[in-house]
Structure 1
Amino acid sequence: MSRIMKQPSASIPHLLERRLSPSRFGPYLAAAGTHAAAVDLYRWNMSASGAAYEALHLVEVVVRNAIHTELEAWHAKQGNGASWLTAPPPVLTSKAKDDLVKAEEQARRSIEKRCRRLRIAPVPAPNPDDVVAQLTFGFWRYMVARRYTHNLWLNAIRFSFPGAPNLQSVEKPLIQLHALRNRIAHLEPIHSEDLRARRREMLQIVGYVDPRVQSWFSTVERVQEAINTRP
């Protein structure tokens, strides 16, 4: 008989506490009060994280494409060649410029890997869409930082969010959504987050870009369902 079979049986709540670690299970236990309720809260947290991450996927893609489109148009109007991604505005921070360089390198490696697998030659250079896909949500969140109010925002990025009254109305929600995205990505608890507020911010940001997309988004996102089913 195996060692595992010889072990005494344990209740699922206490077993999970051990396997997840007391330090990880502790916040759920403190919030729920009993081990059984903590397990229910943990299960809900997993489901809610999935729903929120799914919704954030759309928010991120809509935001990055909107900003990229307007920066590309502004770049072209100034008579600059290529793309703003490879000839970034001087006002960008050194960190942002480094991120652009890394994104292009990552895009190139990804294309080379795909071409090797499919035996495609010659290997094409990354196009702007390839580079945009490699940039993180954090990169785009900092593109609407207040330091850019009188340059990038006024010249280009404000046109990405035609429904927004000002930069702050975009920056503040994106700060919150970026923090939520990072918590979910690092498997942190979100049961103490104000998901109603985060959902409003998601809808708000998408609506600033295009109310028609916001209308569709409101019918498919599952965050409200998660809110409604919290134990």
Structure 2
Amino acid sequence: MQDWLTIDRFKTYLRAAGNNTQRAFDLYQWNTAVNAALLHDFAHVEVALRNALHRELSTLVQPSLTWLAAPTALTLFPVAMTTNKAGTSYDANEWLRGRLHDARVKFKCGHTSQQLSPTDAGRIVADLTFGVWVELLHSRFEPTIWTNALRNAFAQGIARQDVYSRLRTLNDVRNRLAHHEPNLTTVNKAHRELFWLLSVLDRDVQRHVRAHSQVASLLAAKP
């Protein structure tokens, strides 16, 4: 068993199980199940979030244009030079523009055209990582795309920082889930944050996810 999971990986479960090998394996099985259940709920959150942000960003450009194209992306996410802790200057928006560029290349969309077909736009939106949508809510965008558009994706009066901080947490957890990492102590908080986000994003989606989620029952059955 330890050859299968590796000793370093399995010892996390052994410590949590008080060095009881059977209980440690039960915890591993439980962690696998609860990760899958949380990813199920997360899928609804990610789709709802990206579609809401895409809808609001689309209001910032003329109906004949798209925010996903190269020229409009450069307008919305211009060169923003800043300095990191090591004193190195860098463009804070380069990563974001780069992810949009990579998606356009992937789907062979024109790099200079300000318009994309609805099909291509839909493919790009679906292809962008969760981290892209989180980055759009960074504090540097508060006076621009947050104030002018993205705040309308959430319940009235919700602060950008409250959404961003929870999304950062959820993104970290999501990455752990995707890599099948132990989440023995983080699932409960992550699930609360997930439902808070849905409560300010779309209560209909929140009700649907709550009705179909398996996370609470798995939490109650933790070995």
Is TM more than 0.5 here? yes
| Aligned 1:137-176 pairs, distance under 5 A | 137-163=130-156, 165-176=158-169
| Aligned 1:7-26 pairs, distance under 5 A | 16-26=1-11
1:227/1:83 Cα in 2 relative to 1: closer, same or farther (>3 Å)? Answer: same
Structure 1 unaligned segments of length 5 or more: list them: 1-15, 110-123
Please report the RMSD computed on the Cα atoms of aligned residues, expressed in angstroms.
1.8
Q: Which one of the candidate residues 46, 62, 79 is aligned to 2:32?
A: 46
Write the distance in 2 (CA, Å) between the matches of 1:125 and 1:164.
32
User: What secondary structure, in the 3-state scheme, does the structure 1 residue paired with 2:127 have?
Assistant: coil
- Identify which range, 210-219 or 148-157, moves more after superposition: 210-219
Q: Which one of the candidate residues 38, 45, 55 is aligned to 1:69?
A: 55
Write the distance in 2 (CA, Å) between the matches of 1:204 and 1:178.
15
State the identity %: 30
Q: Which one of the candidate residues 36, 39, 53 is aligned to 2:22?
A: 36
User: What secondary structure, in the 3-state scheme, does the structure 2 residue paired with 1:217 have?
Assistant: helix
1:221/1:108 Cα in 2 relative to 1: closer, same or farther (>3 Å)? Answer: farther
Write the distance in 2 (CA, Å) between the matches of 1:96 and 1:29.
41
1:174/1:134 Cα in 2 relative to 1: closer, same or farther (>3 Å)? Answer: same
Q: Which one of the candidate residues 193, 204, 213 is aligned to 1:221?
A: 213
Q: How many residues align?
A: 198
In structure 1, the partner of 2:188 is: 196
Write the distance in 2 (CA, Å) between the matches of 1:223 and 1:163.
29
Q: Which one of the candidate residues 42, 55, 67 is aligned to 1:84?
A: 67
User: What secondary structure, in the 3-state scheme, does the structure 1 residue paired with 2:26 have?
Assistant: helix
Higher Rg of the two aligned structures? 1
User: What secondary structure, in the 3-state scheme, does the structure 1 residue paired with 2:65 have?
Assistant: coil
**4+ residue stretches of structure 1 with deviation over 4 A?**
none
